[in-house]
Amino acid sequence: MNLPRRRFLHLAAGAAALPAVSRIARAQAYPTRPVRIIVPYAPAGAPDIVARMMAQWLSERLAQAFVIENRPGAGGNIGTEAAVRAAPDGYTLLYVVTANAISATLVDNLKFNFIRDITPVAGIIRVPNLVSVNLSLPVKTIPQLITHAKANPGKLNFGAPTAGTVPLSGELFKMMTGVNIVHVPYSVGDFVPGYEASSWHGVGVPKGTPAEIVDKLNNEINTGLADPKLKARMADLGGVPMPMTPAGFGTFIAEETEKWGKVVKFAGVKAD
């Protein structure tokens, strides 16, 4: 059967449009069932608390349950691997934190490549790290701390919250100043240009998750980050919202992975 050329072109154009229409319809309908958010840490920690805040927001906005699944262990890598292996259908999200960027260099035998296997969705919160010193030390500012540490090499010990499995915020300071340290409520970056150490959180999905679903989640999360009540709750935790596009969050993760990779190598640390 011979079809008129014009009719054939119309049919071809219609067929070509079907995949795009199907993708849009799928994104509009999503989610049609509960969504799990894997948090690779135990309940009641900072990642779990903020993840539950965001899960509640998404549940209310999208009229489906967003359920937290805590999968702690191995510095967050057990839960991350579970997310990597999940179906890329938008029904498994991964709660991403600073340790994911650190583990890329710190842990030698990972069974996944975080940057390759996880698609960034959105940033959520950044919590600055602070430096404080024992009152017995004769220092009041970061420059004084650097001077004192250089005058007393090897005599100062430092303690810091763990990032991954080692206190890398302090190691970053050592690498950039050449000193040994202890935890000072000043903005360190004012005295050590380029220094920035903070805990950050975000959301990712398994590689291959439809872009329309990624964009929908990003839009809903960023809307939440602009909500006054949610912003106030984050401020109570000492953090600030970190709204980003998926591409922007991906660039941020890549930069953080590179930065902390240099620190891990400088410190010569290995995962236990």
Q: Which pLDDT tens digit goes with each residue over 204-259?
A: 999 999 999 999 999 999 999 999 999 999 999 889 999 999 999 999 999 999 99
Q: Is residue 156 in a domain?
A: yes
Pair (47, 178) in one structural domain: no
Name which residue leads in pLDDT, 195 or 38. Answer: 38
Q: Is residue 53 in a domain?
A: yes
pLDDT-derived band at 188 (thresholds 50, 70, 90) equals low
pLDDT tens, 162-184? 444 345 566 666 777 777 655 44
Pair (230, 157) in one structural domain: no
Residue ranges in 118-191 assigned as alpha helix (H) = 142-151, 168-177
CATH number assigned to the domain comprising residue 110:
3.40.190.150
Pair (104, 213) in one structural domain: yes
Pair (44, 179) in one structural domain: no
Pair (182, 203) in one structural domain: no
pTM for this entry: 0.74
Q: Is residue 19 in a domain?
A: no
Pair (163, 242) in one structural domain: no
Q: How far apart are CA 124 and CA 173, in angstroms?
A: 25
Residue 224 CB neighbour total at 10 angstroms: 22
Q: Is residue 13 in a domain?
A: no
Q: Is residue 27 in a domain?
A: no
Pair (245, 183) in one structural domain: no
Pair (226, 207) in one structural domain: yes
String of DSSP letters for 210-245: -HHHHHHHHHHHHHHHT-HHHHHHHHHTT-EE----
pLDDT at 260: 82
Which CA distances in Å does 54 have to 43, 140, 172, 249?
A: 15, 38, 30, 17
Pair (100, 205) in one structural domain: yes
Q: Is residue 216 in a domain?
A: yes
Q: How far apart are CA 78 and CA 203, in angstroms?
A: 16
**Sign of the four-CA dihedral 252, 253, 259, 260:** positive
Pair (37, 91) in one structural domain: yes
> Domain range spanning residue 112?
33-127+199-267
Mean pLDDT of 120-128: 93
Q: What percent of the chain has pLDDT over 90?
A: 53
Number of domains in the chain: 2
Pair (118, 214) in one structural domain: yes
Pair (183, 211) in one structural domain: no
